[in-house]
Amino acid sequence: MDLMNTQFWGNSLAAWLIAAGIALALVVILLALRRILSRQLRKLADRTTTKVDDLGADLVAGIRPIILIVIAFAFGANSLELPARLSRLLELTTVIALLIQAGISGNTIVTFLLAQALRPGEGADSGRRTSLAILGFVGRVVVTSLVALLILDNIGVNISALLAGLGIGGIAVALALQNVLGDLLASLAILLDKPFEAGDFIVVDQYLGTVEHVGLKTTRIRSLSGEQIIVSNTDLLGSRIRNYKRMTTRRIEFAVDVVYGTPAEKVKRIPLLLRQSVEAQPQARFDRAHLKEFGPSALVYQIVYIVESPDYNVYMDTQQRINFAIIEHFEREGIDFAFPTRTVHLASAPPSVPTSPAKRR
Protein backbone atom coordinates (compact mmCIF):
# COMPACT_ATOMS: atom_id res chain seq x y z
CA MET A 1 0.00 0.00 0.00
CA ASP A 2 2.85 2.34 0.74
CA LEU A 3 4.27 1.63 -2.71
CA MET A 4 0.95 2.39 -4.37
CA ASN A 5 0.79 5.69 -2.54
CA THR A 6 4.25 6.70 -3.62
CA GLN A 7 4.08 10.01 -5.49
CA PHE A 8 5.51 10.47 -8.95
CA TRP A 9 5.11 13.95 -10.60
CA GLY A 10 2.27 14.76 -8.27
CA ASN A 11 0.36 11.47 -8.70
CA SER A 12 0.42 8.21 -6.83
CA LEU A 13 1.65 5.03 -8.41
CA ALA A 14 -1.91 3.70 -8.30
CA ALA A 15 -3.12 6.71 -10.30
CA TRP A 16 -0.37 6.14 -12.85
CA LEU A 17 -1.29 2.47 -13.16
CA ILE A 18 -4.98 3.32 -13.57
CA ALA A 19 -4.16 5.88 -16.28
CA ALA A 20 -1.91 3.37 -18.05
CA GLY A 21 -4.64 0.71 -17.82
CA ILE A 22 -7.20 3.11 -19.31
CA ALA A 23 -4.80 4.06 -22.11
CA LEU A 24 -3.93 0.44 -22.95
CA ALA A 25 -7.58 -0.60 -22.90
CA LEU A 26 -8.46 2.27 -25.23
CA VAL A 27 -5.60 1.36 -27.56
CA VAL A 28 -6.87 -2.22 -27.83
CA ILE A 29 -10.48 -1.12 -28.28
CA LEU A 30 -9.69 1.56 -30.88
CA LEU A 31 -7.40 -0.71 -32.93
CA ALA A 32 -9.98 -3.50 -32.81
CA LEU A 33 -12.76 -1.12 -33.89
CA ARG A 34 -10.59 0.18 -36.71
CA ARG A 35 -9.90 -3.31 -37.98
CA ILE A 36 -13.51 -4.53 -37.68
CA LEU A 37 -15.00 -1.37 -39.22
CA SER A 38 -12.52 -1.39 -42.09
CA ARG A 39 -13.24 -5.06 -42.84
CA GLN A 40 -17.03 -4.58 -42.74
CA LEU A 41 -16.95 -1.48 -44.93
CA ARG A 42 -14.74 -3.28 -47.45
CA LYS A 43 -17.17 -6.19 -47.63
CA LEU A 44 -20.05 -3.74 -48.08
CA ALA A 45 -18.15 -1.92 -50.82
CA ASP A 46 -17.57 -5.18 -52.67
CA ARG A 47 -21.31 -5.93 -52.65
CA THR A 48 -22.58 -2.52 -53.75
CA THR A 49 -22.08 -0.33 -56.82
CA THR A 50 -22.05 2.98 -54.94
CA LYS A 51 -18.74 4.65 -54.23
CA VAL A 52 -19.53 6.23 -50.85
CA ASP A 53 -18.83 3.01 -48.96
CA ASP A 54 -15.54 2.63 -50.87
CA LEU A 55 -14.51 6.07 -49.67
CA GLY A 56 -15.54 5.20 -46.12
CA ALA A 57 -13.47 2.01 -46.22
CA ASP A 58 -10.43 3.95 -47.49
CA LEU A 59 -10.83 6.60 -44.79
CA VAL A 60 -11.03 4.03 -41.99
CA ALA A 61 -8.09 2.07 -43.40
CA GLY A 62 -6.11 5.32 -43.57
CA ILE A 63 -6.35 5.94 -39.82
CA ARG A 64 -2.82 5.53 -38.45
CA PRO A 65 -2.44 3.31 -35.35
CA ILE A 66 0.04 5.76 -33.83
CA ILE A 67 -2.67 8.45 -33.92
CA LEU A 68 -5.02 6.15 -32.01
CA ILE A 69 -2.28 5.41 -29.48
CA VAL A 70 -1.68 9.13 -28.88
CA ILE A 71 -5.42 9.74 -28.43
CA ALA A 72 -5.74 6.82 -26.03
CA PHE A 73 -2.82 7.94 -23.84
CA ALA A 74 -4.10 11.53 -23.85
CA PHE A 75 -7.50 10.29 -22.65
CA GLY A 76 -5.89 8.18 -19.97
CA ALA A 77 -3.76 11.11 -18.81
CA ASN A 78 -6.89 13.16 -18.10
CA SER A 79 -7.25 11.24 -14.81
CA LEU A 80 -3.85 12.51 -13.64
CA GLU A 81 -2.85 15.81 -12.07
CA LEU A 82 -0.03 16.88 -14.37
CA PRO A 83 2.07 20.04 -14.31
CA ALA A 84 0.81 22.82 -16.54
CA ARG A 85 3.68 22.58 -19.03
CA LEU A 86 3.38 18.79 -19.30
CA SER A 87 -0.40 19.04 -19.68
CA ARG A 88 0.04 21.68 -22.38
CA LEU A 89 2.60 19.50 -24.18
CA LEU A 90 0.26 16.51 -24.06
CA GLU A 91 -2.64 18.61 -25.36
CA LEU A 92 -0.51 20.04 -28.14
CA THR A 93 0.69 16.56 -29.14
CA THR A 94 -2.91 15.35 -29.36
CA VAL A 95 -3.98 18.31 -31.50
CA ILE A 96 -1.03 17.85 -33.85
CA ALA A 97 -1.78 14.14 -34.16
CA LEU A 98 -5.43 14.88 -35.02
CA LEU A 99 -4.39 17.50 -37.59
CA ILE A 100 -1.95 15.07 -39.20
CA GLN A 101 -4.69 12.46 -39.40
CA ALA A 102 -7.03 15.07 -40.93
CA GLY A 103 -4.37 15.78 -43.55
CA ILE A 104 -4.02 12.06 -44.29
CA SER A 105 -7.79 11.73 -44.65
CA GLY A 106 -7.89 14.80 -46.92
CA ASN A 107 -5.25 13.30 -49.20
CA THR A 108 -7.22 10.05 -49.22
CA ILE A 109 -10.32 11.93 -50.40
CA VAL A 110 -8.33 13.69 -53.14
CA THR A 111 -6.85 10.37 -54.33
CA PHE A 112 -10.29 8.75 -54.30
CA LEU A 113 -11.88 11.55 -56.32
CA LEU A 114 -9.09 11.39 -58.90
CA ALA A 115 -9.48 7.63 -59.19
CA GLN A 116 -13.19 8.09 -59.84
CA ALA A 117 -12.56 10.82 -62.41
CA LEU A 118 -10.10 8.60 -64.29
CA ARG A 119 -12.57 5.81 -64.99
CA PRO A 120 -11.69 2.75 -67.09
CA GLY A 121 -11.73 3.60 -70.77
CA GLU A 122 -10.72 7.21 -70.18
CA GLY A 123 -7.27 6.65 -68.79
CA ALA A 124 -5.71 6.25 -72.24
CA ASP A 125 -6.05 9.99 -72.85
CA SER A 126 -2.65 11.35 -71.82
CA GLY A 127 -3.96 14.91 -71.61
CA ARG A 128 -6.70 13.89 -69.23
CA ARG A 129 -4.28 11.84 -67.16
CA THR A 130 -1.86 14.77 -66.94
CA SER A 131 -4.60 17.21 -65.97
CA LEU A 132 -5.80 14.84 -63.26
CA ALA A 133 -2.27 14.44 -61.94
CA ILE A 134 -1.85 18.22 -61.73
CA LEU A 135 -5.26 18.60 -60.10
CA GLY A 136 -4.32 15.93 -57.56
CA PHE A 137 -1.00 17.62 -56.85
CA VAL A 138 -2.72 20.98 -56.31
CA GLY A 139 -5.29 19.38 -54.02
CA ARG A 140 -2.63 17.67 -51.92
CA VAL A 141 -0.61 20.88 -51.67
CA VAL A 142 -3.68 22.76 -50.45
CA VAL A 143 -4.52 20.10 -47.84
CA THR A 144 -0.91 19.86 -46.62
CA SER A 145 -0.56 23.63 -46.47
CA LEU A 146 -3.72 24.00 -44.40
CA VAL A 147 -2.56 21.31 -41.96
CA ALA A 148 0.90 22.88 -41.68
CA LEU A 149 -0.57 26.35 -41.03
CA LEU A 150 -2.90 24.98 -38.36
CA ILE A 151 -0.04 23.15 -36.65
CA LEU A 152 2.10 26.31 -36.66
CA ASP A 153 -0.79 28.31 -35.26
CA ASN A 154 -1.32 25.80 -32.44
CA ILE A 155 2.34 25.79 -31.41
CA GLY A 156 2.27 29.56 -31.06
CA VAL A 157 3.73 30.77 -34.35
CA ASN A 158 2.19 34.00 -35.66
CA ILE A 159 1.06 32.99 -39.13
CA SER A 160 -0.50 36.35 -40.04
CA ALA A 161 2.73 37.68 -41.55
CA LEU A 162 3.29 34.37 -43.30
CA LEU A 163 -0.19 34.45 -44.81
CA ALA A 164 0.30 38.05 -45.91
CA GLY A 165 3.60 37.18 -47.59
CA LEU A 166 2.10 34.16 -49.28
CA GLY A 167 -0.82 36.29 -50.48
CA ILE A 168 1.42 38.96 -52.00
CA GLY A 169 3.67 36.35 -53.58
CA GLY A 170 0.66 34.49 -54.96
CA ILE A 171 -0.71 37.67 -56.53
CA ALA A 172 2.64 38.44 -58.15
CA VAL A 173 2.93 34.92 -59.56
CA ALA A 174 -0.68 34.99 -60.77
CA LEU A 175 -0.12 38.27 -62.62
CA ALA A 176 3.09 37.00 -64.21
CA LEU A 177 1.49 33.74 -65.32
CA GLN A 178 -1.99 35.07 -66.03
CA ASN A 179 -2.37 33.53 -69.49
CA VAL A 180 -0.85 30.20 -68.50
CA LEU A 181 -2.97 29.95 -65.36
CA GLY A 182 -6.07 30.92 -67.35
CA ASP A 183 -5.50 28.07 -69.79
CA LEU A 184 -4.68 25.70 -66.93
CA LEU A 185 -7.89 26.56 -65.10
CA ALA A 186 -9.80 26.22 -68.37
CA SER A 187 -8.25 22.78 -68.82
CA LEU A 188 -9.40 21.79 -65.34
CA ALA A 189 -12.87 23.18 -66.12
CA ILE A 190 -13.01 21.02 -69.25
CA LEU A 191 -11.84 18.05 -67.21
CA LEU A 192 -14.47 18.50 -64.50
CA ASP A 193 -17.43 19.85 -66.48
CA LYS A 194 -16.75 17.66 -69.56
CA PRO A 195 -18.38 19.73 -72.34
CA PHE A 196 -16.47 17.41 -74.68
CA GLU A 197 -13.93 14.62 -74.53
CA ALA A 198 -11.35 13.10 -76.84
CA GLY A 199 -13.15 11.51 -79.79
CA ASP A 200 -16.12 13.92 -79.80
CA PHE A 201 -17.03 15.72 -83.03
CA ILE A 202 -17.50 19.40 -82.20
CA VAL A 203 -18.08 22.71 -84.00
CA VAL A 204 -16.44 25.83 -82.57
CA ASP A 205 -17.21 29.05 -84.44
CA GLN A 206 -16.25 28.27 -88.05
CA TYR A 207 -14.06 25.29 -87.14
CA LEU A 208 -15.28 21.71 -86.97
CA GLY A 209 -13.60 18.39 -86.40
CA THR A 210 -12.84 15.57 -83.96
CA VAL A 211 -11.17 16.29 -80.63
CA GLU A 212 -7.84 14.48 -80.51
CA HIS A 213 -6.22 15.78 -77.35
CA VAL A 214 -7.13 18.02 -74.42
CA GLY A 215 -3.91 19.39 -72.97
CA LEU A 216 -3.00 21.75 -70.17
CA LYS A 217 -2.93 24.83 -72.41
CA THR A 218 -4.49 23.87 -75.74
CA THR A 219 -6.97 21.48 -77.31
CA ARG A 220 -6.19 19.84 -80.65
CA ILE A 221 -8.95 19.22 -83.18
CA ARG A 222 -8.59 17.18 -86.38
CA SER A 223 -10.65 18.90 -89.07
CA LEU A 224 -12.54 17.11 -91.84
CA SER A 225 -10.00 18.28 -94.40
CA GLY A 226 -7.19 16.64 -92.43
CA GLU A 227 -5.27 19.48 -90.82
CA GLN A 228 -4.93 19.85 -87.06
CA ILE A 229 -6.53 22.89 -85.43
CA ILE A 230 -4.98 24.02 -82.15
CA VAL A 231 -7.16 26.21 -79.91
CA SER A 232 -6.29 27.55 -76.47
CA ASN A 233 -8.52 26.23 -73.72
CA THR A 234 -9.52 29.72 -72.61
CA ASP A 235 -10.72 30.66 -76.11
CA LEU A 236 -12.45 27.32 -76.42
CA LEU A 237 -14.51 27.75 -73.25
CA GLY A 238 -15.34 31.32 -74.28
CA SER A 239 -16.93 30.05 -77.50
CA ARG A 240 -20.21 28.31 -78.21
CA ILE A 241 -19.47 24.62 -78.70
CA ARG A 242 -21.74 22.25 -80.59
CA ASN A 243 -21.02 18.64 -79.62
CA TYR A 244 -22.42 16.31 -82.28
CA LYS A 245 -21.04 13.18 -80.59
CA ARG A 246 -23.72 13.50 -77.91
CA MET A 247 -26.53 13.92 -80.38
CA THR A 248 -29.16 11.20 -80.05
CA THR A 249 -31.46 12.17 -82.95
CA ARG A 250 -31.47 14.66 -85.82
CA ARG A 251 -34.33 17.02 -86.61
CA ILE A 252 -34.42 17.61 -90.37
CA GLU A 253 -36.32 20.37 -92.11
CA PHE A 254 -36.39 20.80 -95.87
CA ALA A 255 -38.64 22.29 -98.54
CA VAL A 256 -40.14 21.15 -101.85
CA ASP A 257 -41.27 23.67 -104.50
CA VAL A 258 -44.21 22.89 -106.78
CA VAL A 259 -45.12 24.90 -109.86
CA TYR A 260 -48.02 27.31 -109.85
CA GLY A 261 -50.94 26.06 -111.89
CA THR A 262 -51.03 22.66 -110.20
CA PRO A 263 -54.70 21.60 -109.78
CA ALA A 264 -56.16 22.22 -106.33
CA GLU A 265 -56.88 18.51 -105.74
CA LYS A 266 -53.24 17.64 -106.28
CA VAL A 267 -52.12 20.59 -104.17
CA LYS A 268 -54.17 19.19 -101.27
CA ARG A 269 -52.83 15.68 -101.86
CA ILE A 270 -49.14 16.63 -101.82
CA PRO A 271 -48.76 16.68 -97.94
CA LEU A 272 -50.00 13.08 -97.85
CA LEU A 273 -47.50 12.06 -100.53
CA LEU A 274 -44.70 13.75 -98.60
CA ARG A 275 -45.74 11.99 -95.41
CA GLN A 276 -45.77 8.61 -97.15
CA SER A 277 -42.28 9.28 -98.53
CA VAL A 278 -40.93 9.92 -95.03
CA GLU A 279 -42.78 7.14 -93.22
CA ALA A 280 -41.50 4.57 -95.71
CA GLN A 281 -37.98 5.01 -94.26
CA PRO A 282 -37.06 2.71 -91.35
CA GLN A 283 -35.07 5.27 -89.33
CA ALA A 284 -37.23 8.33 -89.99
CA ARG A 285 -40.03 9.58 -87.74
CA PHE A 286 -42.47 11.88 -89.51
CA ASP A 287 -43.31 15.16 -87.81
CA ARG A 288 -45.26 17.36 -90.25
CA ALA A 289 -45.69 18.45 -93.88
CA HIS A 290 -47.57 21.62 -94.87
CA LEU A 291 -48.05 24.06 -97.71
CA LYS A 292 -46.01 26.75 -96.04
CA GLU A 293 -46.26 29.74 -98.35
CA PHE A 294 -46.72 31.09 -101.82
CA GLY A 295 -43.19 31.70 -102.96
CA PRO A 296 -42.06 34.10 -105.68
CA SER A 297 -42.10 31.36 -108.28
CA ALA A 298 -43.53 28.24 -106.58
CA LEU A 299 -45.79 26.73 -103.96
CA VAL A 300 -43.47 26.00 -101.04
CA TYR A 301 -44.07 22.82 -98.97
CA GLN A 302 -42.18 22.39 -95.71
CA ILE A 303 -41.37 18.90 -94.38
CA VAL A 304 -40.01 18.10 -90.90
CA TYR A 305 -38.94 14.66 -89.69
CA ILE A 306 -36.64 13.07 -87.11
CA VAL A 307 -33.78 10.71 -87.93
CA GLU A 308 -33.45 8.13 -85.14
CA SER A 309 -29.67 8.09 -85.34
CA PRO A 310 -26.91 10.67 -84.78
CA ASP A 311 -24.85 9.25 -87.64
CA TYR A 312 -24.49 11.75 -90.48
CA ASN A 313 -24.26 9.06 -93.15
CA VAL A 314 -27.51 7.53 -91.90
CA TYR A 315 -29.16 10.92 -92.21
CA MET A 316 -27.88 11.47 -95.76
CA ASP A 317 -28.96 7.96 -96.85
CA THR A 318 -32.41 8.57 -95.37
CA GLN A 319 -32.75 11.97 -97.03
CA GLN A 320 -31.71 10.50 -100.37
CA ARG A 321 -34.32 7.75 -100.18
CA ILE A 322 -36.97 10.32 -99.24
CA ASN A 323 -36.00 12.42 -102.26
CA PHE A 324 -36.26 9.36 -104.54
CA ALA A 325 -39.69 8.54 -103.10
CA ILE A 326 -40.93 12.11 -103.63
CA ILE A 327 -39.77 12.06 -107.25
CA GLU A 328 -41.59 8.75 -107.87
CA HIS A 329 -44.81 10.03 -106.23
CA PHE A 330 -44.76 13.25 -108.24
CA GLU A 331 -44.15 11.36 -111.50
CA ARG A 332 -47.15 9.11 -110.87
CA GLU A 333 -49.37 12.05 -109.91
CA GLY A 334 -48.19 14.29 -112.74
CA ILE A 335 -46.91 16.98 -110.39
CA ASP A 336 -44.06 19.18 -111.57
CA PHE A 337 -41.25 20.56 -109.45
CA ALA A 338 -40.74 24.29 -109.68
CA PHE A 339 -37.59 26.08 -110.55
CA PRO A 340 -36.81 29.79 -110.27
CA THR A 341 -38.75 31.64 -112.94
CA ARG A 342 -39.66 35.23 -113.67
CA THR A 343 -42.53 36.41 -115.83
CA VAL A 344 -42.06 39.73 -117.58
CA HIS A 345 -45.14 41.50 -118.96
CA LEU A 346 -44.36 43.93 -121.81
CA ALA A 347 -46.87 46.74 -122.37
CA SER A 348 -47.52 47.71 -126.01
CA ALA A 349 -46.40 51.19 -127.05
CA PRO A 350 -49.27 53.79 -127.45
CA PRO A 351 -50.17 54.71 -131.06
CA SER A 352 -48.46 57.84 -132.38
CA VAL A 353 -50.65 60.97 -132.89
CA PRO A 354 -50.18 62.68 -136.27
CA THR A 355 -49.40 66.37 -136.12
CA SER A 356 -51.12 69.05 -138.27
CA PRO A 357 -49.26 70.68 -141.17
CA ALA A 358 -49.31 73.98 -139.31
CA LYS A 359 -47.64 72.47 -136.29
CA ARG A 360 -45.10 70.79 -138.50
CA ARG A 361 -44.23 74.16 -139.95
Domain boundaries, the chain: 7-176, 194-243, 250-333
Say yes or no to pLDDT of 358 above 70: no
Pick the closest to residue 54 from 98, 109, 103 (CA basis).
109
Q: How far is CA 127 from CA 137, 157, 307, in A?
A: 15, 41, 34
According to the model, what pLDDT value does residue 122 have?
A: 47
Q: How confident is the model at residue 38 (pLDDT cuts 50, 70, 90)?
A: confident
Regarding predicted confidence, which is higher, 343 or 217?
A: 217
pLDDT digits (tens, 9 = 90+) for 80-115: 666 677 777 888 888 888 888 888 888 888 888 777
C-alpha–C-alpha distance, residues 129 and 216, integer Å = 10
Mean pLDDT throughout 5-10?
56
Report the chain's terminal Cα–Cα distance, integer Å. Answer: 164
**Count of alpha carbons within 13 angstroms of residue 48, beta-carbon side:** 14
Mean of the per-residue pLDDT values for the chain?
80
Average pLDDT over residues 233-258: 88
194-243: CATH architecture: Roll (2.30)
The yes-or-no verdict on residue 3 having pLDDT over 70 is no
pLDDT value at residue 106? 87
Pick from 114-118, 147-151, 347-351 the range whose average pLDDT is largest: 147-151
Query: Is pLDDT above 90 for 236?
Result: no
Contact at 8 Å (CB) between 211 and 202? yes
Distance CA 20, CA 239 (A): 67
Q: Is pLDDT of 1 > 70?
A: no
Calculate what percentage of the chain has a pLDDT beyond 70: 78
Fold of 250-333: Alpha-Beta Plaits (3.30.70)
* Count of beta carbons in the 10 Å neighbourhood of residue 100: 16
Provide the percentage of residues in the chain whose pLDDT is more than 90: 23
Is the pLDDT at 169 greater than 70? The verdict is no
- The per-residue pLDDT for 131 is 65
Average pLDDT over residues 250-264: 94
Confidence of residue 162 (pLDDT cuts 50, 70, 90): low
pLDDT (0 to 100) of residue 320: 96
Categorize the per-residue pLDDT at 123 as very low, low, confident or very high, splitting at 50, 70 and 90: very low
Q: Mean pLDDT, to the nearest integer, of 58-73?
A: 85
CA distance 16 to 13: 5
Spatial contact of 175 and 113, defined as CB atoms under 8 Å apart:
no
Query: Given a cut of 50, is residue 234 above it in pLDDT?
Result: yes
Q: What is the mean pLDDT of residues 28-44?
A: 86
